[in-house]
Structure 1
Amino acid sequence: MSDEKERELIFVFTGPDGSGRKTVADSVGATLGITKVISYATRKPRSGEVNGQDYHFITPELYEQFDADGDFIESVTINGNLYGLRGKDIAYSLKKGGSIYLILNPEGAQALKETYGDRVVRLFIYADRRTVQERQVEAGIDPDVIKTNLDQYETAIRYQSTCEHAFENYDLAHTVFDITNTLETYLQRNLEERD
């Protein structure tokens, strides 16, 4: 039983907005066959985002109901929108599929680390300030949101030193390759069970 628990790792992809953490995380997750746990958000989907794939986009009223019921193990307000992570979703996914991954801002990553301790492995994804700004502009993100994100850039970058691993993300294929190799060392215990 304890061996089963040891395999239930929580990989958290974090870093500044515009670092490419989502693209990297989803690529690594698909490569390794790790289940993604999705957060809840009260904002409208951005261009290209899909409900149930990027976030569970819900109404503020439903969010408040989940919050009142104590469902969220992490809840933050960013740019006037609420973002939360339900403990039930994490517990269910761990039980169903072993290790999981999430994409969270540094505040969320820290909350998860405090809740789950050594089972959480934080992967800090970053790029320089100019690059993250360009990526957000290309993604069509509202200029006011980009400004707010850039105002938080230095705070996000400082979180890097507390994470278990950090990866520069300028070349997606290279970054995904490096992270996949790193995570394989954590998942090695499962290799004998795979065909």
Structure 2
Amino acid sequence: MTKKGILTVISGFSGAGKGTIVRELVDRYGYAVSISATTRDPRAGEQDGVHYFFKTKEEFEQMIADGALIEYASYVDNYYGTPKDYVMQKLEQGIDVILEIEMQGALKVKERFPEVSLIFITPPDAKVLRERLEGRGTETQDVIEKRLARAAQECAYMDQYDYIVINDDLNVCVEQIHGLIQALHWKCVNQQGQIAKMKGEFANKA
């Protein structure tokens, strides 16, 4: 019997570096990452079905109606969501899956799947966050200000996450998160098969 994979959610302020961190985790350790659906426009170099599933508002709302999403949320005037089938298939194959999603969606996943661990990535301080957003050069100043305002609101929900990891040094942060995810395999909630096995073997000897 294949050991089931575990599902971990990674979130963070826009500009905290979570996308880069997740790519490093995939490249170094072979994690599977769910491809999110979104109604926002593609950025330069992004491909449909590789970076996101780019949907119209009508297409996305049909996915909601069909129950085809694990979670979804609205963020800076666009929808984002996690298609369900891909995630469930990978977990059944024994592959660990990372969901890189916004805070709204992460908390919804936690409601549906209490055993899932939530990891939040933050820069060392707000000044660094602004510098990273402006340094990307992909958005207008108005959008940057919206993202900073959203980050200020998100601070109120950080304590609902299981782990807070500071992204000050990329390599260190990647290794810390990899260690966290691997440790999750040994949480009691993820060892129910072993618990049942031991209980059953001892019961049969009684």
Q: Same fold (TM over 0.5)?
A: yes
> Is the counterpart of residue 177 in structure 1 residue 175 in structure 2?
yes
Q: Kindly report which structure 2 residues correspond to 1:23-172, keeping only aligned pairs within 5 A, or say none.
A: 23-118=20-115, 120-127=116-123, 128-139=125-136, 140-172=138-170
- Distance in 1 of aligned mates of 2:81 and 2:6: 20
- TM-score where L is the length of structure 2: 0.81
Runs (5+) with no aligned partner, structure 2: 188-206
SS of the equivalent of 1:157 reads helix
- Distance in 1 of aligned mates of 2:185 and 2:101: 21
AA aligned to 1:24 is: I
- TM-score where L is the length of structure 1: 0.85
AA aligned to 1:156 is: E
Q: What is aligned with 1:10? A: 7
Task: Give 1:187 deviation, angstroms.
Answer: 4.2
- Distance in 2 of aligned mates of 1:187 and 1:30: 20
Structure with max Cα Rg: 2
Task: Give 1:188 deviation, angstroms.
Answer: 6.6
- Distance in 2 of aligned mates of 1:93 and 1:56: 18
- Distance in 2 of aligned mates of 1:81 and 1:176: 28
Q: Deviations over 1:16-47 (max 9, x none)?
A: 11111111122123322111111100111123
Task: Give 1:8 deviation, angstroms.
Answer: 2.5
Q: Is the 8 A contact 2:8 2:97 kept in 1?
A: yes
Q: What is aligned with 1:192? A: none
Among all aligned residue pairs of Structure 1 and Structure 2, give the percentage whose two residues are the same amino acid.
Answer: 29
Task: Give the stretch that moved more between structures: 88-97 or 125-134.
Answer: 88-97
Q: Is the 8 A contact 2:26 2:32 kept in 1?
A: yes
Q: Is the 8 A contact 2:33 2:98 kept in 1?
A: yes
Alpha-carbon distance change, 138 to 47 in structure 1, aligned in 2, over 3 angstroms: farther
- Distance in 1 of aligned mates of 2:152 and 2:13: 8
How many residue pairs get matched? 185
AA aligned to 1:96 is: Q
AA aligned to 1:129 is: A
- Distance in 2 of aligned mates of 1:22 and 1:121: 18
- Distance in 2 of aligned mates of 1:134 and 1:79: 19
Q: Deviations over 1:98-144 (max 9, x none)?
A: 320011111111111111111x1111100122222221222222222
Alpha-carbon distance change, 48 to 170 in structure 1, aligned in 2, over 3 angstroms: farther
- Distance in 2 of aligned mates of 1:117 and 1:183: 16
